[in-house]
Amino acid sequence: MRRFDFTDGTAVVTGAAGGIGAALAHGLARRGAALVLLDRDAAGLDAVADSVRATHPGRAVDTYVVDLADAAATGAVAEQVRDRHPAIRLLVNNAGVALGGRFDEVTFDEFSWVMEVNFRAVAQLTHALLPALKAAPGAHLVTVSSLFGLIAPPGQVAYAASKFAVRGFTEALRHELAADGIGVTCVHPGGIRTRIARDARVGSGVDRAEYEVGRQRFERLLTIAPQTAAEAVLRGVARRRGRVLIGWSARLPDLMARVAPAGHGRLLTALGTRGRTARTSAVSAPTATGSPPPG
């Protein structure tokens, strides 16, 4: 498969109001792509779009405000995007949300909210826009999973379940779409320097004081700039890589999971979280609200 050509086509990016999504918008504009940006944060989305337009005069930038937790709204906006932008050559499913708490500390509605945004919306948008991708020669699809699509620590059942689902969905699609000439990349970010830990929802049954201590510790591990992460993603797309791991905080756990598929959990517990502070871990893609989670 040839290298991906970013010019003469439209790139759709979700979770574009901040973090990796905003950095992807700027990176794609530099490479010559027209942009369609989605997020729930209208003010943040406008700020990113204005910044891209100011930096790249004449670059086409369209924005759509949507809460991806709402399946009907997601379907409606997908139809608008498909009808108004028939030349879609790149779809980046980047939006995601985080929730802290063990499975018995979160309500099932809270659990379902994470699955709706992080997985159902990814599958729904991909299904709706797949005809446009198939019609564009050399198109490409990106999904942003997480470090927690490689390992599943305690306190992150909802998040890990959603990101493992994204990983499996993407790997199967990669095989299915190869015959159509569509490249597929699954991204696993590590500790991206965003507001994810600060903005994550907290399960209804979680001790807030204990959570806050863990959150502050976890935030210190977020050292990778969103711009660095975005460039890694776009290099992976250009080279048609099937998988992109960003940072040692993704590569090392990936190695651990390969070497000790069932036993790496004990090492994770010993290394990092000491008790329940693990529940503060999250992902590194921007949230549906525009706030970017870590990876």
Domain boundaries, the chain: 10-280
Residue 252's pLDDT is what?
80
Q: Which tokens go with 192?
A: 């991206």
Residue 191's pLDDT is what?
73
User: Looking at 64, 113, 119, 159, which residue is catalytic?
Assistant: 159
Fold of 10-280: Rossmann fold (3.40.50)
Residue 282's pLDDT is what?
34
- Arithmetic mean of pLDDT over the chain: 86
Residue 220's pLDDT is what?
63
Instruction: Count the residues in the chain.
Output: 295
Residue 216's pLDDT is what?
59
143 phi/psi in degrees, rounded to 5: -120, 140
Q: Compute and round to an integer the Cα radius of gyration of the chain.
A: 18
Measured distance CA(115)–CA(162) in Å, rounded:
5
Measured distance CA(197)–CA(293) in Å, rounded:
7
Q: Quick check: is 159 catalytic?
A: yes
Cβ(43)–Cβ(35) below 8 Å = no
Residue 215's pLDDT is what?
60
Residue 261's pLDDT is what?
79
Residues of the chain where predicted confidence (pLDDT) is lower than 50: 272-295
Residue 274's pLDDT is what?
39
Percentages helix, strand, coil for the chain (3-state, rounded to 5) are 55, 15, 35
